[in-house]
């Protein structure tokens, strides 16, 4: 049980790191800025929602923060609760379920595209890093959902 707890903590730490990276790359896409060193996430990212709501950002910066955080929140929540949301929407409206799945695919593709375009290195490095970031953010979210569930404690 102790080992499972540490694995969950390590996965959460990687998920936070990757989320910060993805927010940074999405914001860079919107604002046409340089990301900087992606292996040193800007911890000021965690203050951006507060700056956004208090009006401390320029219009372009506010757009970047809003889109970056919104895309990442949608992405992480869909990773954590995809099965429940999908079943719930499908039972209510099959057409809306297809639209929901399309939005998840579009968000995933957008995140991958911004990760690829704003990561330094050659094409192979960018592709490998984009795939790894997808794996960490999507599947670690599923794993954390499992660790938090009652089945993992049984």
**CA 90 to the chain's CA centroid:** 24
Contact 137, 76 (CB under 8 A): yes
Q: Is 61 helix (H, G, I), strand (E, B) or coil?
A: helix
The token pair at 84 is 């429940």
Tell me the pLDDT tens digit for each residue of 114-135: 888 888 788 998 888 888 888 8
pLDDT at 151 > cutoff 60: no
Q: Compute how many other C-beta atoms are within 10 angstroms of the C-beta atom of residue 4.
A: 12
- 96 versus 149: the higher-pLDDT residue is 96
pLDDT at 4 > cutoff 80: no
Give the pTM.
0.78
Structure confidence at residue 1 (pLDDT): 55
Q: What is the DSSP letter of 6?
A: H
Contact 138, 79 (CB under 8 A): yes
pLDDT at 63 > cutoff 90: yes
Q: Residue 111 — pLDDT band, cuts 50, 70, 90? A: confident
């Amino acid at each position: 049980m102790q080992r499972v707890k540490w694995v969950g903590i390590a996965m959460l730490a990687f998920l936070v790191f990757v989320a910060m990276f993805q927010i940074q790359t999405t914001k860079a896409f919107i604002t046409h800025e340089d990301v900087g060193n992606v292996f040193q996430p800007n911890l000021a990212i965690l203050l951006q929602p507060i700056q956004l709501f208090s009006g401390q950002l320029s219009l372009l910066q506010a757009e970047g923060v809003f889109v970056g955080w919104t895309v990442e929140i949608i992405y992480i929540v869909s990773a954590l609760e995809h099965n429940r949301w999908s079943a719930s929407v499908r039972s209510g409206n099959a057409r809306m379920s297809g639209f929901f799945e399309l939005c998840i695919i579009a968000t995933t593709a957008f995140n991958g595209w911004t990760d690829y375009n704003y990561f330094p290195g050659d094409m192979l490095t960018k592709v490998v890093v984009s795939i790894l970031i997808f794996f960490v953010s999507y599947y670690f979210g599923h794993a954390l959902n499992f660790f938090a569930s009652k089945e993992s404690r049984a």
